[in-house]
A and B are shown apart, each in its own frame.
Chain A
């Protein structure tokens, strides 16, 4: 396809001869206009084209392009093609299977058969696709914020290279974020070969390197830790939310759920000491809220109990002591199946102590695996060092590769101004973001889905990233750009990657290359090693300034800010708080009481001299003297979606140890309305979430429900869904997957505040018990597909009826919007288009839509359909092959995303199907059973494995 020419100003466009001739053809009247009027006219037209991202007389690439990577011989329009590739998070590969329609990627799912994610996914992976269609992406390279062609750049670079040569690159700095790409590695070493004096610096807002620093402190050298949760019976966690969001979430969740399912009773029990409530604590058998800075004290005490020689810890509170002894008991019962972990918030001292405990119980090699970092970045200079060098004037050229330090660097370093002292700054990135806009060169790079590249998964398994679509814009892959900088010209996108792998694959390159592209990964991961921990735990002189622990957390929705412009994620209700479109300062109920705080009240948080202010949120179960700040908000150049939302926690982030600090909190005037999708979280004594214990492993059988009506005959198949509340970690992967699959619209903050979010699948968050020590529960609530559906009976126009296979169908084009169905729905799972929530017709996001799912117009009700389009597709496929539907032919979007396989969909008429077996389980129950709606979506009760067997719900 011909690439649309890009413009920067309407003036430029308005002089575009192509456009002029087109206008002349399309709007003859315009020709008769006065020259001035005509200029205005074209300007206006240009403005509207600009929105469409089209130039002159070309059509929008989003609506007409068939940008096949290699045009297939027989391409049937409307039949999807699949690509095995990967997107990245924190430099790690997240292997995906990308679904493309007519050459446009529309859906990402985990890559089946991949050793780490086994076809499962998380919210970030699901949402990555929307970044591809982000209308605010950098659409062409620019020089001093003026557009420039790649050809011209090649020339400019050669001039630069001559300067660098003079100093052997001594004046050059490369700034990278943690990455795993072998090709980038190769290119950087090539760079060093050419400019030996060049220094590499690492900017690491998400903590990969900090985590390695912890292991380095504990074991003498950096390692990557891998929890073998599938082999664990007991896990003790000190502020380590290993089931929470991040590159490790999917792998950990899969292993944990495998162990958890056990035989007839939960096979793994978690003991969590948490400062900030997280998914791990919510699933724990015993959880205790402890201030971040006290974690080491508990760790010490545990060490003593386990028999690790250590200083006896100062006194613990009654609860703390109880927790430690219970944890110790659990370990002693089966030390060979025990694992102790600690998180960034717990700090270095805790990490070292934990290493000793693990050593003592023989965890290494059994429940804990170590690998040497696939790309050890510890040799590279720190970010602070770079700042010093710049101040010392030693830096003339700074190349920033896929990083946004102007936003995500600790505010104290004042990077933006410092960078201004560098003569030549080069930014390689997808967006002309806070950093890119300040740089001399902003080199627009491709999204993974349109790139040739490579990356390693968390276990070291390599994936060769192949493009699923030709770039929409005038952009290049990172590798192409670096090749340019190295003076190799504007070469083909796959050349650098092939070069890397030709060296690795050797003479069988072609076959293995094709194999790798087909499989989506290259077999073989980093070899595990078993290191010795250092005996001395370096005593950190605890920083006791300030009054409270301030913990810095990456945001579960926008992470470190890289997803700020992704509407799906902004509107994603964050785990536990269910907040959208904002970041908050979470405080404990106790602290709220002390400072007279209410949700939304503004507070000022100060950390060594710098302060930010934002709205508070009272989080049940948070440690009394700990407050948490969420990174990733307060962006200034994220785009139309992500700009100017929330506060910027980076601005007060400490430089030395950016995860925990001491600070002060002060109530300020004013408060803001927060967009929470669930206003009430207490269970109020209802049994929506039920529990079983090992003493009583089965729920009482449901009361038989007489009906005055004869049952309707079922078709051969009867679809149903069972959701296991015992393995749902509330990770939101299903919610985003549903959004992506079913074209669920994003409605914006004000509409969420009005109570009009559109998610077909919501995760209800409940807690029971005291706000200080709550038990948290997650309950995904899709449509219950009731067999005796109250909603259907209410519809006056037959717009919602029952399919013979028992699916509660919604006929959008028949709906007149009486909303009776929603009023009658006891589960309130129906969603209504109060306004026209669809994207603007020419918005790039249109291209991300699933063509198999209707877009809903204003005034129409919509709801979960069990992914009816997938059911129908499976039927069609089966019919073509002249066979009957088989178990596994139909996987709903939420089911395929769920990392813990908590969601099971299937045929309840088939007694041998997985779902039928689950429905016979003693934990099986229906929500609001007493209403007699006979839901097809049912639940498995949660195990209450609390060692003291307290009745929780």
Chain B
């Protein structure tokens, strides 16, 4: 979109710089932050306890069995990774499309991505029966004389997630360097100056550097976009590559990617609203931003809904008895509640976003986004369990009930996400300063000329 009034022009770019570097330098919301941090730390502690229990006693502490050999570990893995996708999409895709409104959001969206991917990445490790042999998944001249098996979607996962994590980190840091320099120059205390000075690698904003930087940054963005799409398509192959009814469908890659973006944008909206109030950023994260986020959420949500519809059509069209049985089971079986509550939280609540005020009211957007996050979680649960607990042979039909440790590990990962995220917004500029300044400068330009 053109650089029109996305930001109020009654502010100077210097003011923006002061305001945003001021967040780490003169932290405005100490009390709220401490409360949030306490809760997050407790959750993290819960995570540590759960992992210790897991590693000492084995995956048997979870509710899994045969046939439901995969459950929480994989389904939360998919869920977290999906959330991560929004960050990259916002910063990379919208950068390429020149949508300047993304400049107020991309930084914390990317930060969110990093730690969401970390949470996702830890699950396949916890999931292993013998996690201490994780390294067998990597190609190295093993003394056993055996190498990884590259036909396995699980092997693809490892590479996809690692690549995604590394690329996200590099992309995030590349964009961060100039802001660190800004913070360095605004800092009065020695400690801050050293911290930001070192972190900014001595960036001095030389025009030539800026030009090389732009080359690198834009190419990274151009590569990151297909990467995001590939990663979740590939995750979906973890299921689609099997023959299990309810998984074995060509619909899965787009279905998963859209769902991922959907849940991701929901989390971005939540964070946007939270930071906006926490750090009083109404002048930078404007109602206009919320409005746009709401629209994106609605769009991705409707695309995901299309996935639901087409999945059913697919089954009816193919007429495969096993697929049909699984579908009927999803809609009416023991776990039908997951399907229908997923539909409700994902799509019914979402419809409020057609209404402009709902998009522009922070708390409304917050609630709707929260419902989407829950809904997508239920969807992943539904896809995992309903396909496995009743697959082909009636004689192997079983049931699945999550154990205490399933839940504790899951809530623990939320702590694993929140703690570093809270640290990040505490110690580094959580909104891209120079890009916001640029947007503002362009706008002023447009207004004068």
Within the complex, are A and B direct neighbours (CB within 8 Å)?
yes
Q: Which residue of the partner chain, among A790, A797, A819, contacts B242 with CB atoms under 8 Å? A: A790
| Contact of B353 with A by CB under 8 A | no
Contact of B152 among A779, A795, A819 (CB under 8 A): A795
Task: Specify which chain A residues have a CB less than 8 angstroms from the CB of B70 in the assembled complex.
Answer: 819, 823
The reply on A220 being an interface residue by CB < 8 A is: no
| A817 within 8 A of partner (CB) | yes
In the assembled complex, B35 has its CB within 8 A of some CB on chain A: no
With both beta carbons as reference points, the residue of chain A lying nearest to B392 in the complex is identified as A826
Q: Are A793 and B395 in contact (CB under 8 A)?
A: no
Residues A814 and B146 in contact in the complex (CB < 8 Å), given A796-B154, A834-B60, A859-B128: yes
- Taken together as a complex, chains A and B put the C-alpha atoms of A860 and B244 apart, in Å, by 22
Q: Is A931 an interface residue (CB 8 A)?
A: yes
Contact of B129 among A679, A781, A860 (CB under 8 A): A860
- How many angstroms from the CA of A47 to the CA of B115 in the assembled complex? 51
Q: Is the C-beta of A398 less than 8 angstroms from some C-beta in chain B?
A: no
Of the residues B67, B158, B399, contact of A822 by C-beta under 8 Å? B67
CB–CB A928/B392 < 8 A: yes
Residues of A within 8 A of B57 (CB): 835
Q: Give chain A interface residues in 177-208, CB to chain B under 8 Å.
A: none
Does chain B have a CB within 8 A of A773?
no
B43 contacts chain A at the CB level, 8 A cutoff? no
A67 to chain B, nearest CB (A): 36
Q: Which residues of B contact A831 (CB under 8 A)?
A: 66
A794–B153 touching, CB < 8 Å: yes
Q: From residue A825, how far is it (CB to closest CB) to chain B in Å? A: 8
The CA-CA distance from A779 to B396 in the complex, in Å, is: 12
Q: Judging by beta carbons under 8 Å apart, are B65 and A826 in contact?
A: no
A679 to B397, alpha carbons, bound, how many Å? Answer: 7
- Contacts A859-B130, A860-B130: A818 and B154 contacting too (C-beta < 8 A)? yes
How many contacting A-B pairs (Cβ < 8 A)?
163
B42 interfacial by beta-carbon distance below 8 Å: no
Beta-carbon nearest neighbor of B155 in chain A? A796
* Binding stretch for chain A, among B133-141, B162-170, B304-312: B133-141
Whether B149 contacts A814 by the Cβ 8 Å rule is: no
The answer to whether B58 touches A858, judged by C-beta atoms less than 8 angstroms apart, is yes
Q: A794-B153, A795-B152, A816-B130 are in contact. Are A764 and B393 (CB under 8 A)?
A: yes
Q: Encode contact with A along B366-397: 1 for CB under 8 Å, 0 otherwise.
A: 00000000000000000000001001111111
Contact of A796 among B149, B243, B392 (CB under 8 A): B149
A127 to B70 CA separation, bound complex (whole angstroms): 34
Contacts of A860 in B (CB 8 A): 129-130
How many Å lie between the Cα of A254 and that of B70 in the bound state?
A: 43
The interface residues of chain B lying within 8 Å CB-to-CB of A682 are 394
Query: Does chain B have a CB within 8 A of A833?
Result: yes
Q: Complex Cα distance A822/B129, Å?
A: 13
Interface centre among B59, B129, B151, B154 (most CB of A within 10 A): B129
B243 and A797 within 8 A (CB): no
State how many angstroms separate the Cβ of B393 from the closest Cβ of chain A: 6
Q: Point out the residues of chain A lying under 8 angstroms from B129, CB to CB.
A: 815-819, 832-833, 858-861
| A832 with B136, Cβ < 8 A, contacts A793-B241, A815-B130, A824-B242 known | no
As a 0/1 sequence over residues 151 to 185 of chain B, the CB contacts with chain A under 8 angstroms (1 = contact) are 11111001000000000000000000000000000
B interface footprint on A769-808 (CB within 8 Å = 1, 0 otherwise): 0000000000101000000001001111110000000000
Judge whether A510 is part of the interface by a CB distance below 8 angstroms.
Answer: no
Closest to B151 in A: A793
Q: How many angstroms between the C-alpha atoms of A931 and B393 in the bound complex?
A: 12
Chain B residue with the shortest CB-CB distance to A861: B129
B408 within 8 A of A: no
In terms of DSSP, what is the predominant structure of the interface of chain A? loop
**A249, chain B: closest CB distance, angstroms:** 23
A294 close to chain B: CB less than 8 A: no
Interface locus among A322-330, A380-388, A431-439, A754-762: A754-762
Chain A stretch 685-710: residues in CB contact (< 8 A) with chain B: 685-686, 688
What residue in chain A is nearest B146 (Cβ atoms)? A798
Q: Interface readout for B329-340 with A: 1 if CB under 8 Å, 0 if not?
A: 000000000000
Contact of A781 among B66, B68, B151, B393 (CB under 8 A): B393
Interface residues of A in 728-766 (CB under 8 A from B): 751, 754-756, 762, 764-766
Q: Which residue of A lies closest to B384 (CB)?
A: A823
A60: interface (CB < 8 Å): no
Is B147 engaged at the interface, CB distance under 8 Å to the other chain? yes
Which residue from A686, A797, A824, A830 sits with its C-beta under 8 Å from B321? A686
Q: Does B361 contact A (CB under 8 A)?
A: no
**A-side contacts of B242, CB under 8 Å:** 790, 794, 823-824
Pick from B60, B133, B147, B394: contact of A816, CB below 8 A.
Answer: B133
Question: Does A389 lie at the interface of the complex (its beta carbon under 8 Å from any beta carbon of B)?
Answer: no
Query: Is B325 positioned at the interface, with any CB of A under 8 Å from its CB?
Result: yes
In the complex, whether B148 has a CB less than 8 A from a CB of chain A is yes
B136 contacts across to A, CB distance below 8 A: 797, 814, 816
A820 proximity list for chain B (CB < 8 A): 152-154
B residues in contact with A859, CB < 8 Å: 58-59, 128-130
Q: Does B69 sit within 8 A of A, measured CB to CB?
A: yes
CB distance from A282 to the nearest CB of B (A): 15
B64 at the interface (CB under 8 A from A): yes
Question: Quick check: A680 and B65 within 8 Å, CB to CB?
Answer: no
16 contacts between A and B (CB under 8 A): A682-B394, A683-B394, A755-B65, A764-B395, A794-B241, A797-B137, A798-B149, A815-B130, A816-B130, A816-B134, A818-B124, A818-B154, A819-B127, A828-B391, A859-B130, A860-B130
Task: Beyond A755-B65, A818-B128, list 16 extra A-B contacts (CB 8 Å).
Answer: A680-B395, A754-B65, A764-B394, A814-B136, A814-B146, A816-B129, A816-B134, A817-B129, A818-B127, A819-B64, A824-B242, A828-B392, A834-B64, A835-B60, A836-B58, A931-B243
Complex A-B, nearest 10 residue pairs according to Cβ-Cβ distance, in ascending order: A817-B129, A859-B129, A755-B65, A764-B395, A834-B60, A828-B396, A819-B69, A835-B60, A796-B155, A859-B130
